[in-house]
Structure 1
Amino acid sequence: MTTRRLAILLPVLAVAACANPGGDLPPLPDSTRSDYRLGPEDQVRVTVFNDPRLTGEFRVTDAGTLNLPLIGAVRAGGRTTTQVERAIETAMREKNLFRDPSAAVQVVTYRPVFVLGQVERGGQFPYQPGMTALSAVAVAGGFNYRALRDYVAITRVGEDGRAQEYRATRQALLMPGDVVTVYERRF
């Protein structure tokens, strides 16, 4: 290899070696505030007016259903609470339990978020509405001394059911079930 080629190749290799991990990920799309869609492991409170037998707290199964007494399985995964309310009311009408049923569904506990990588105590943590990537890192004990602090990776399952990894700022809003990865910085 000639000296001239080597002089050109060395700076290119040096820049490539300094590239930050996750820098090639697509940016996290701006999430518009839309109605929350239920998923497995969400826990909801179902209130059926005028019938305490049907009122209680239920967990969305891995199959995406709520198993309710007297009604059976009602699809909840991927639906909003309002859509689940209508589905419960429809099931009660079909089973002739009520002529004009009224149900309310409220999320009690959301799916957890997960924090991995260069944090003090990675793991699974309860989701809270309005949680950001930075607040999730704080719950995980904060960045450790080797952490890249400028951005994180967020893995999110899309509406198509497939997981996609994105590059996100520390202020990015999380969704239940998100996985936050804090990379190790290069020295």
Structure 2
Amino acid sequence: MMATTWMRSMCGLLLVLFLASCASGGRVASAAGGDMPMPDTTTTTGAYEGATDYRIGGQDLLNVSVFGVAELSKDVRVNAKGQISLPLIGTILAGGRTVQELEKELAQKYSATYLQNPQVSVFVKEFSSQRITLEGAIKKPGIYPITGKITLLQVIALAGGVDERIADLGGIVVMRQVDGKRMAAAFDLRQIRKGTLVDPQLYGDDIVVVQESGSKTAMRRFLESMPILGIFSFL
């Protein structure tokens, strides 16, 4: 209950800030549909960067194994600095790298002085750095971990779908952090379902809010001020 109240308060605060930005002539990012700006989480904190592989982030749980050397196989948690610690080679930077890049570096480290042609495998057991928050007229609001590329429709389905009795299907707001600044965009779920509006890809740390029909909130004023075309505006 406390977590839900906190999320609602944060979403409300962000929208109030957005409205103030609009009043002062805030900038608008000309990105819509499939050409949306990616969030800051595509750097070293773990994310899917466009169409490329997953980049490891802080708090991810990795299984590192060396074929034929059981003593070097273990589960390691990536720390807040993006580092892991392994036997013989010590501390290695894993954050911001793909699994393949990390496997290659570990193999080079082990082969330098300890092993001949080591076969190193890295498997991401927990994608702890990747979470999306869903709030509002959702059947199961909360914070959901994601394990790969995911779209708005898919993440709503993950939360059991919208509450069709009270949800405003034309009032879906996505908020994210881009270049150190908070951005928001409005989407019409009906258009996405019909295929007339691109189903946007979401990223870790995105916040999705489904507006309740007939509500008189700051979010409603936000929706009335923006075209439902997935255009992101700076808050």
TM over 0.5: yes
- Match among 139, 152, 176 for residue 133 of structure 1: 152
Between the two structures, name the one with larger relative contact order (CA 8 Å, sep ≥ 6). Answer: 2
Partner residue in 2 for 1:149: 169
- Match among 168, 180, 186 for residue 208 of structure 2: 180
- Please state whether the residue corresponding to 2:88 is helix, strand or coil: coil
Is contact 2:59–2:79 with CA below 8 Å preserved after alignment? Answer: yes
Matches of residues 33-48 of structure 1 in structure 2 within 5 Å? 33-48=51-66
Is contact 1:132–1:172 with CA below 8 Å preserved after alignment? Answer: yes
- Please state whether the residue corresponding to 1:149 is helix, strand or coil: strand
Partner residue in 2 for 1:99: 116
Is the counterpart of residue 72 in structure 1 residue 90 in structure 2? yes
User: In structure 2, what is the Cα distance between the partners aligned to 1:165 and 1:105?
Assistant: 34
Structure 1 unaligned runs (5+)? 1-20
- Please state whether the residue corresponding to 1:129 is helix, strand or coil: coil
Shift of 1:104: 1.8
Q: Taking structure 1 as reference, are residues 133 and 151 closer, same or farther at Cα in structure 2, changes over 3 Å only?
A: farther
After superposition, the C-alpha distances for 1:88-119 in whole angstroms (9 at most, x for unaligned) are: 1233245x221333312222222332212332
Q: Taking structure 1 as reference, are residues 101 and 163 closer, same or farther at Cα in structure 2, changes over 3 Å only?
A: farther
Shift of 1:63: 1.4
User: In structure 1, what is the Cα distance between the partners aligned to 2:126 and 2:186?
Assistant: 25
- Please state whether the residue corresponding to 2:59 is helix, strand or coil: coil
User: In structure 2, what is the Cα distance between the partners aligned to 1:118 and 1:82?
Assistant: 40
Partner residue in 2 for 1:8: none
After superposition, the C-alpha distances for 1:53-80 in whole angstroms (9 at most, x for unaligned) are: 2223322222111222333221111111
Is the counterpart of residue 124 in structure 1 residue 152 in structure 2? no
User: In structure 2, what is the Cα distance between the partners aligned to 1:147 and 1:128?
Assistant: 27
TM-score where L is the length of structure 2:
0.56
Which one has a bigger Cα radius of gyration? 1
After superposition, the C-alpha distances for 1:141-162 in whole angstroms (9 at most, x for unaligned) are: 332344332363334455x6x3
User: In structure 2, what is the Cα distance between the partners aligned to 1:82 and 1:74?
Assistant: 14
After superposition, the C-alpha distances for 1:31-56 in whole angstroms (9 at most, x for unaligned) are: 74112211112222222122112223
TM-score where L is the length of structure 1:
0.68
Give the aligned length. Answer: 165
> Which runs of at least 4 in structure 1 moved beyond 6 Å after TM superposition?
21-25
Q: Percent identity?
A: 27
